[in-house]
Amino acid sequence: MDKRRFLITGGSQGIGAALVAAARDAGDDVVFTGRNEELIARVAAETGAHGMRADVALADDNARTVAECRARMGGIDVLVNNAGFGYFAHIGELQVDKMKSQFDTNVFGLVDLTNRVVPEMKERERGDIVNIASTSGIKGHPGGTSYSASKWAVRGISQCWQAELRPHGVRVVCICPSEVQTNWGGKTGRDNPNKLFASDIAQAILSTLAADRRALWPELAVFATNPWKEA
């Protein structure tokens, strides 16, 4: 397989960091983003990938990210829109400002960055875009108004991009993980061998990319087989 050039947002920890490591293990070039300098430096040192501080919610940062990818790798073959965070509140107590801020990252940032990457993919008639949604974007739950809506939006956006980009040879894959034991939402220290690890999602992403270019997996939900089993 030819060496691929990855841009992974939110690669400083969790699912993104596991994917940075897996792509580097596969011999690929990787630029990844994050906001925490210490975490970025650690992942870069461990994997040999190029980490940069860039907030996906900021247009100027997205312009800088794409320019850095061009300068370092000559372009982007695989864009992974992974950066995201959770804000949970029941209706009646929901702070709309916080919901807007969540959409700035989980939805508008993803759109702004992809806007900047897609023209070159269309020109080359080749490219892969992986959007990380969630099973929360498939089924709503208490407290999920903001987060579920943001991930539902990512699924809808992914379907629109599939319709627009398939004729240009660009694949768009939407991944919907169930609970993954990262530090997401400040839930640190989970280590149940029966629940999903970030590496399981990284493996799922690479599997969708490994399919022959003739084949597109539009959406993939990933669940743990038996997460109710005690460790």
Residues forming contacts to ligand NAP in the complex (CB under 6 A) are: 9-16, 33-36, 39, 55-57, 82-85, 105, 132, 134, 177, 179-180, 182-184, 198
Minimum CB distance to ligand NAP smaller for 9 or for 208: 9
Element (H, E) at 30: strand 29-34
Minimum CB distance to ligand NAP smaller for 24 or for 123: 24
Least gap, CB of 33 to ligand NAP (angstroms): 5
Between the alpha carbon of residue 101 and those of residues 49, 68, 107, 200, the distances in Å are: 29, 25, 10, 29
Token pair, residue 50, equals 């190029």
Q: Report the C-alpha gap between 49 and 116 in whole angstroms.
A: 22
Minimum CB distance to ligand NAP smaller for 59 or for 126: 59
Minimum CB distance to ligand NAP smaller for 36 or for 95: 36
Minimum CB distance to ligand NAP smaller for 125 or for 207: 207
SS3 content of the chain, % helix, strand, coil (to 5): 50, 15, 35
- Is residue 80 within 8 Å of 90, Cβ to Cβ? no
Q: Among all residues, whose Cβ is closest to ligand NAP? A: 14
Q: Report the C-alpha gap between 95 and 41 in whole angstroms.
A: 34
Residues with catalytic roles? 147
In the chain, how many H helices and how many E strands? 7, 7
DSSP 196: B
Nearest to 127 by CA among 209, 64, 201: 209
Least gap, CB of 101 to ligand NAP (angstroms): 9
Nearest to 50 by CA among 68, 77, 25: 68
Least gap, CB of 115 to ligand NAP (angstroms): 16
Least gap, CB of 2 to ligand NAP (angstroms): 27
Least gap, CB of 39 to ligand NAP (angstroms): 5
